């Protein structure tokens, strides 16, 4: 037997799917809905929570619950085609970059395969699509690979990309690990997502032909809007099929 919560969530989901509740529209207040469905407000709120993690409803404290506008999906393209990973070209993204010099701690040292406390340049990137926060990226590069001017005049977004593709030795391999987890409180607030919504977390390592890790990135994308796409081509040589 379906619970009241799920039954109400199903009904509201249907009202959204069939357009009886339109994108951007405000739902009746929680107390009104609770009265309509003849349940208590906590029960009704748990129904809304279901729709919230599905990305169908957006809550705004003091204003109401709103049907989410059909969300433009974010597509992360893997494989190092764009080093920053964002399809920054087609969507008008505004990006703020903070550049800092830090020292590798335990986690970062392992990621970049450098000794602990070796100097790194951190690019902290927050991209917006209009008013809406879009994604969060922390990119780490060994200091000798980052332009010395980066601290004073931050690179434009993607500037590090062209910088790296001209390296010697050249780039050889991109390794990306995708996982899903709840956002940290900071991530939830900067991305303006509910802490109940999972994020897509991508850890990227880029290495050159000498095996040196020239870049590592920690990317965080809101789980309800983000996809990551990876394309791998098989290469045929004389001996058989390889990768």
Place of tokens 């780039």: 171
218 lies in the binding site for its own copies (CB under 8 A): no
Of residues 173-202, those binding its own copies (CB under 8 A): 173-182, 196, 198-200
Place of tokens 């050159």: 208
Among 40, 162, 179, 184, binds DNA (CB under 7 A): 40
The neighbouring-strand residues paired with 240 are 237
Of residues 93-122, those binding DNA (CB under 7 A): none
Among 30, 54, 122, 129, binds DNA (CB under 7 A): 30
- DSSP letter string, 183-200: PPHHHHHHTT--TTS-EE
Instruction: With contacts defined by CB under 7 A, name the span among 34-42, 161-169, 175-183, 208-216 that binds DNA.
Output: 34-42
Omega within 30 of 0 (cis) for the link into 169: yes
54 lies in the binding site for its own copies (CB under 8 A): yes
DSSP, collapsed to helix, strand or coil, labels residue 159 as: helix
Among 59, 68, 128, 138, binds DNA (CB under 7 A): 59
Q: 18 vs 231, which CB is nearer to its own copies?
A: 231
Q: Is the distance from CB of 125 to CB of 84 less than 8 angstroms?
A: yes
Among 25, 29, 179, 230, binds DNA (CB under 7 A): 29
Single out the residue of 222, 218, 181, 225 nearest to residue 202, CA to CA.
Answer: 218
Distance of closest approach, residue 91 Cβ to its own copies, in angstroms: 18
107 binds, among DNA, its own copies, none (CB under 5 to 8 A by kind): none
Cβ neighbors of 62 (< 8 A, separation 6 or more) are none
Round to whole Å and give the CA distance between 143 and 71. Answer: 38
158 binds, among DNA, its own copies, none (CB under 5 to 8 A by kind): none
193 lies in the binding site for DNA (CB under 7 A): no
Q: Is the distance from CB of 127 to CB of 86 less than 8 angstroms?
A: yes
Task: Please count the CA atoms within 13 angstroms of the CA of 125 that sit on its side-chain side.
Answer: 29
Interface residue list for DNA (CB under 7 A): 3-5, 27, 29-32, 38-43, 45-46, 59-65
Interface residue list for its own copies (CB under 8 A): 42, 53-54, 78-81, 165, 170-182, 196, 198-200, 223-224, 226-236, 241, 243
């Amino acid at each position: 037997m379906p619970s009241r919560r799920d039954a109400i969530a199903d009904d509201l989901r249907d009202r959204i799917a069939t357009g009886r509740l339109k994108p951007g529209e405000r739902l009746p207040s929680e107390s009104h809905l609770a009265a309509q469905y003849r349940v208590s407000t906590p029960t009704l709120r748990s129904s809304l929570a279901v729709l919230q993690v599905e990305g169908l409803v957006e809550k705004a404290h003091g204003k109401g619950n709103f049907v989410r506008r059909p969300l433009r999906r974010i597509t992360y393209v893997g494989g190092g085609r764009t080093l920053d990973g964002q399809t920054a070209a087609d969507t008008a993204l505004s990006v703020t970059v903070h550049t800092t010099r830090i020292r590798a701690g335990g986690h970062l040292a392992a990621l970049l395969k450098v000794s602990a406390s070796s100097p790194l340049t951190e690019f902290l990137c927050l991209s917006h699509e209009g008013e809406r926060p879009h994604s969060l990226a922390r990119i780490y590069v060994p200091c000798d690979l980052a332009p010395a001017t980066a601290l004073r005049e931050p690179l434009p977004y993607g500037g590090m990309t062209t910088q790296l593709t001209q390296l010697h030795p050249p780039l050889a391999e991109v390794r990306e690990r995708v996982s899903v987890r709840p956002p940290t409180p900071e991530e939830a607030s900067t991305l303006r997502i509910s802490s109940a919504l999972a994020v897509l977390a991508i850890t990227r390592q880029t290495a050159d032909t000498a095996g040196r890790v020239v870049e590592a990135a920690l990317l965080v994308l809101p789980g309800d809007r983000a996809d990551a796409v990876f394309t791998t081509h098989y290469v045929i040589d004389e001996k058989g099929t390889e990768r």
